[in-house]
Amino acid sequence: MPTPPRRSEHLLSGIEGAYPRALLRAAGLRDGDFQGPLIGVANSWNEIVPGHVHLRELAAWVKEGIRAAGGVPLEFCTIAPCDGIAHGPGMHYSLPSRDVIAASVELMVQAHQLDGVVMLCTCDKSIPGMLLAAARLNLPTVFVTGGVMRPGQAAGRTVILSDVKEAMGRLRAGTATPEEFAELERCACPEAGACSFLGTAHTMACIVEAAGLSLPRCATMPALSPQLGCGMLLTRGTPLKKQISFLLYAHPRSKLFFHLLGIEFFFAIQFSSHSKSHGPGMMFYLQDCGMIVFLYEHVEALFDGARIVAGDSLV
């Protein structure tokens, strides 16, 4: 099957292409790189947000996968604020950040006529912002979400970030000691990853995977697990290489996936992160479910299920 024409060919070909080619050489590209598709790696890495502090390492594996599939990776960064840290006045800046993220990714991809994009994102605003960008760009797109934070251990029990908020009330009510409260604060978020409850970050990662836009298991695996973590998944090469190869040669547009997801919601099928329960909160790979969204069988299992999906059952 003939390879579809690349957008970047119009930018880099012929005499007129010498100007951008010269500049790209200064960025590290060589003669052979101008023959392959230019794939943007939109990275929302920063040193503030726990769901994003490990994305620089992930980006290195993503770029290896792009090269293995015959593409030329070009990484750039965008912002990614944390709703959990941006309390009070900070939320006035966090809420509009989705549009800033979408605009920044769209501008970089369109300005440089990239042929496709890999979106690296994890948290509440970065995933929706990059979804908006993908819809606007309508280019071959893959999402790699950063995985889930493992739960911590405090006073002999499993704890997550939402336990801190509950403990704030117990401390004020006098039913928790300052020492218990301090230990919980230190232990609730032990490592990088999305907050380990079914909040916006985890829900959006599941939706992206259910839509077929991200790699299998990205939404639910622990971010730093040596057995199931993102590094192991991507360094094995096969899932990402296959997905990138599919983008480069089949050239599917992102709006195809959004259209299919829209049909799901049109029939009022409520999204859930598990299908038929075999015990409370049992998680099946969304890809194995045919990329279809599901209802919770038991609404009362929501909070227990969220803890299990984003923590215990994945450790």
Each residue's pLDDT tens digit, 61-101: 889 888 988 899 999 999 999 999 998 889 999 989 999 99
**Domain range for residue 166?**
152-189
Residue 12 has pLDDT above 80, yes or no: yes
Q: What is the mean pLDDT of residues 149-165?
A: 93
Q: What residues have CB less than 8 Å from 205, skipping those under 6 apart?
A: 122, 127, 145, 194, 214, 218, 219, 220
101 and 36 within one domain: yes
Assess if residue 132 is contained within a domain.
Answer: yes
Assess if residue 273 is contained within a domain.
Answer: no
35 and 174 within one domain: no
Q: What is the mean pLDDT of residues 201-229?
A: 78
Residue 281 has pLDDT above 80, yes or no: no
143 and 27 within one domain: yes
- Contacts made by residues 56-63, CB under 8 angstroms, sequence distance 24+: 57/231, 58/120, 58/144, 58/146, 58/230, 58/231, 58/234, 59/120, 61/230, 61/231, 61/234, 61/235, 61/240, 62/118, 62/120, 62/144, 62/234, 62/240
81 and 164 within one domain: no
CATH of the domain at 57: 3.40.50
Residue 308 has pLDDT above 80, yes or no: no
Assess if residue 296 is contained within a domain.
Answer: no
Q: Which residue would you say has higher pLDDT here, 64 or 266?
A: 64
In the chain, what is the straight-line distance between the N-terminal and C-terminal CA atoms, in Å? 43
64 and 161 within one domain: no
- Which pLDDT value is given to residue 218? 80
Residue 43 has pLDDT above 60, yes or no: yes
Residue 296's pLDDT band (cuts 50, 70, 90): very low
